[in-house]
Amino acid sequence: MAHPAQLGFQDAASPIMEELLHLHDHAMMVIFLISMFVLYIITLMITTPLTHTGTMDAQAVETIWTILPAIILILIALPSLRILYLMDEINDPHLTIKTVGHQWYWSYEYTDYENLMFDAYMTQTLDLPHGTPRLLEVDHHMVVPTDSPTRMLISADDVLHSWTIPALGIKTDAIPGRLNQTTFTTSHPGLFYGQCSEICGSNHSFMPIVVESTTLDNFENWSSLQLES
């Protein structure tokens, strides 16, 4: 999860997020080099007396500064498109979970099970167990088995919401009357926190999301307990 005064991203908890971080670092490297080059040219322009005031054209340098940016843009666009299509891929998911955004909580339905559904409300500050993050903890975690491709079906009941888990690289709008689909695979066990990312009303800040990734055994225990209760 995020920590105070954090500047970068959260640690990746899924292969897709790993890829996204690589793309971000790659693009940042390009931006850094271009910024440094431009800064160098600016200082040069300021500090050097203009000696070539009669120059009308310079075909060679113009060719270079047209083609080079085009190549740099392609070098960013290709890996970006690769991840875009990777994120769209639904590879035979082991589990399908439907989540619906409400003002102001999320409800979850495990559609592979007969009757496994629950609502997840934010835990109030006064009720927080010791050591759990304020405004991020919920009363029912969405439990998934680690390393299992999971399909999320996302919709909303009243207004626009957005189901978001930064560590998994997921942000999908929950739209009334529309079912959006996305997938993720958690790469290690843990708790992954997120918040609704669409301004949805007065309690928009108080409908967090918690994904709990755990072993398959734990997941089966949990699901049978849920079905009994």
CA atoms lying within 13 Å on the CB side of residue 199: 0
Q: In 10 A of CB 136, how many CB atoms?
A: 18
User: Which of 196, 209, 210, 211 is in the footprint of Cu ion by CB under 5 A?
Assistant: 196
172 is a contact residue toward Cu ion (CB under 5 A)? no
Q: Does 151 bind Cu ion (CB under 5 A)?
A: no
Q: Is 137 left (phi over 0), alpha (psi -120 to 50) or beta?
A: beta
Beta bridge partners of 182: 152
Please name the residue ranges forming H helices in 153-215. none
- Give the Å distances, CA to CA, from 181 to 158, 173, 221: 18, 10, 27
**Cβ 97 to Cu ion shortest distance, Å:** 18
Can residue 200 be called a binding residue for Cu ion (CB under 5 A)? yes
Nearer to Cu ion, 69 or 176 (CB): 176
By beta-carbon proximity to Cu ion, the closer residue of 12 and 196 is 196
Angle at 123 between CA 119 and CA 127, to 5 degrees: 135
Q: Which stretch binds Cu ion (CB under 5 A): 14-22, 44-52, 76-84, 161-169?
A: 161-169
- Out of 122, 161, 168, 195, the only residue in the binding site for Cu ion (CB under 5 A) is 161
- Give the binding-site size for Cu ion (rule: CB under 5 A): 3
Residue 205 tokens, joined: 């800040």
Span of 16-24, 108-116, 133-141, 159-167 interacting with Cu ion by CB under 5 A: 159-167
Least distance CB 200 / Cu ion (angstroms): 3
Binding interface with Cu ion (CB under 5 A): 161, 196, 200
